[in-house]
Amino acid sequence: MFFPTYRARRIRGRDVFRRMVRETVLSVDDLIYPMFVTYGRGVRTEISSMPGIHQQSVENIVAEAGQVHELGIPAVLLFGIPETKDAVGSSAFQETGVVQEAVREIKKNVPGLAVITDVCMCEYTAHGHCGLIRGGDVDNDATLELLCKEALSHARAGADMVAPSDMMDGRVGAIREALDSNGFTAIPIMSYAVKYASGYYGPFREAADSAPRFGDRRSYQMDPANRLEAIREASMDVEEGADILMVKPGLPYLDIVREVRNEFNLPLAVYNVSGEYSMVKAAALNGWIDEERVVMETMIALKRAGADLILTYHARDVAEILRKGW
């Protein structure tokens, strides 16, 4: 196909034709909106590094969940900021924990909204790591027991899905067994199957108050240089019973999203993380970019790479843009 017989601009020249032949389609049904629930009442504190995103107490989380549902976004992902932290993160699996309370209240007041819960210890431990510390590092197998208790507490509160983000070996299988043996066979697991030790998480650590107090997370999160390891990690989670796989972060790892998509036929999620969000917001606030265009281009890139679902702090904005007929 060569010019002048083929002229690509014949199709590009009209909006109606561009829409008709568009290869990648973004829908509001693709979106999951992360939210941060904290203790107390009347709390709605904007996160300084994430304009437009807040830490909120339960009643305000419920109010925003209602708005999210009205926009047509099908699901939220809850992270918790507890009142107290300790060495084992015991607030993570308390019946009266902030996530557990938020789940109950959202399901009561916004029953049509799916509630997914993050399963990890980093927000709840005094040291900020994702599990029990022994010998200066996270004890993998001892942490599995804590993660199972957390996941079970979320299921008992009414969570529709659990999402383990800790990157402990064997945690999907352990959580699946714990859920099944306690009567929660219908609760799916969305596994953070491929989660890199990334510098793009910085703003999240302010949002969730989860920065490690010593060291870093490289002994359990993946080396950004590794591609084949991503397939091994995802394969383990498939074998252990994951229902949805996830790659995190998004934009710096589009090649990994495509690799995982090509290798497995499970639904695939990608997390458009806090650093990606904050960079777009900062540039937009300085007038350097057209925020709407950049956000939508980012979402299309994630979909085009192979994602079925996108976890993004832009979800509400994207839903509004789609409603206008982008």
In this predicted model, what pLDDT tens digit does every residue of 67-96 receive, in sequence order? Answer: 999 999 999 999 999 999 998 899 999 999
**Superfamily of domain 24-324 in the CATH hierarchy:** Aldolase class I (3.20.20.70)
pLDDT of 228 > 80? The answer is yes
Residue 197: HSE in the Cβ half-sphere, 13 Å Cα cutoff? 14
pLDDT of 214 > 70? The answer is no
The count of other CB atoms within 10 Å of the CB of residue 83 is 10
Closest Cα to residue 57, out of 116, 99, 107, 109?
99
Residue 66 to residue 113: CA distance in whole angstroms = 8
- Chain centroid to Cα 133, Å, comes to 25
pTM above 0.75, yes or no: yes
Q: What is the DSSP string of 145-159?
A: HHHHHHHHHHHHHT-
In this predicted model, what pLDDT tens digit does every residue of 106-162 receive, in sequence order? Answer: 999 999 999 999 999 898 998 878 888 888 888 999 999 999 999 999 999 999 999
In this predicted model, what pLDDT tens digit does every residue of 2-49 receive, in sequence order? Answer: 899 999 999 999 999 999 999 999 999 999 999 999 999 999 999 999
Evaluate whether 140 touches 170 at the Cβ level (below 8 Å): yes
Evaluate whether 314 touches 299 at the Cβ level (below 8 Å): yes
* 258 burial level (CB within 10 Å; 0-12, 13-18, 19+): middle
Residue 42 to residue 233: CA distance in whole angstroms = 41
Give the tokens for residue 48. 């300084």
- Domain residue spans in the chain? 24-324
The count of other CB atoms within 10 Å of the CB of residue 235 is 15
Closest Cα to residue 58, out of 106, 95, 94?
106
DSSP 86: B
Angle between helices 58-70 and 315-324 (to 10 degrees): 30
Catalytic residues: 195, 248
Query: Residue with structure tokens 């229902």?
Result: 243
Evaluate whether 175 touches 146 at the Cβ level (below 8 Å): no
Q: SS3 for 16-68, per residue?
A: HHHHHCCCCCCCHHHEEEEEEEECCCCCEEECCCCCCCEEECHHHHHHHHHHH
